[in-house]
Amino acid sequence: MKNKTFATWLAFWTGPLGLHRFYLYGWTDILGWLLPIPTALGFYGLERVQQFGQDDTLSWMLIPLLGFTLAGCALNAIIYGLTPIEKWNAKFNPLADALTPSGRTNWGTIIGIATALLLGTTVLMASLVFSFQRYFEYQIEAARLISQ
């Protein structure tokens, strides 16, 4: 039986590693195996910022991958938490009754949804702001070099 509350929290906390996908779809899920790639690239971008500073072009291109992956997993947590019980059980617990308790929404699910909404939007906006700022600074530097 796939528990909706557990899947919500798993998507929020370990989503960038794909563990929620493995929990819901099994070890053969391709997206579950692919999710750690942008996460690792984003962490590599953070490491490059620490080594080379914020002016490193590759780092400002890689860091948003981490942010968008975290925000996407928070969105998955919200979707899992808001899925109606009948639809959840039909998709993830097909052999069980439509109103099986594992698909019910409880306070743990609601808190998981609220947490994912709060932190997911924060990470998404921070990623957008960072990437746009670095992109426009890069464009200004390129224009400055052309004008000289």
Model confidence pLDDT, tens digit, residues 54-79: 888 888 889 999 999 999 999 999 99
pLDDT digits (tens, 9 = 90+) for 69-119: 999 999 999 999 999 999 998 899 888 887 877 788 899 999 999 999 999
Q: What is the pTM of this model?
A: 0.87
**Per-residue model confidence (pLDDT) at position 87:** 92
User: Looking at the predicted structure, is the pLDDT value of residue 26 above 80?
Assistant: yes
**Per-residue model confidence (pLDDT) at position 98:** 76
Residue type at 20 in one-letter notation: H
Alpha-carbon distance 39 to 109, whole Å? Answer: 25
- Per-residue HEC secondary structure of the chain comes to CCCHHHHHHHHHHHHHHCHHHHHHHCCCCHHHHHCHHHHHHHHHHHHHHHHHCCCCHHHHHHHHHHHHHHHHHHHHHHHHHHCCHHHHHHHHCCCCCCCCHHHCCCHHHHHHHHHHHHHHHHHHHHHHHHHHHHHHHHHHHHHHHHHC
Q: Which residue bears the tokens 């490059």?
A: 48
What is the percent of the chain where pLDDT is above 70? 100
Both structure tokens of 85: 């019980």
Alpha-carbon distance 78 to 109, whole Å? Answer: 9
pLDDT digits (tens, 9 = 90+) for 46-57: 999 999 988 888
Among residues 64, 61, 104, 101, the alpha carbon closest in space to that of 82 is found at 104
Residues 6+ apart with CB under 8 A from 96: 1, 89, 102
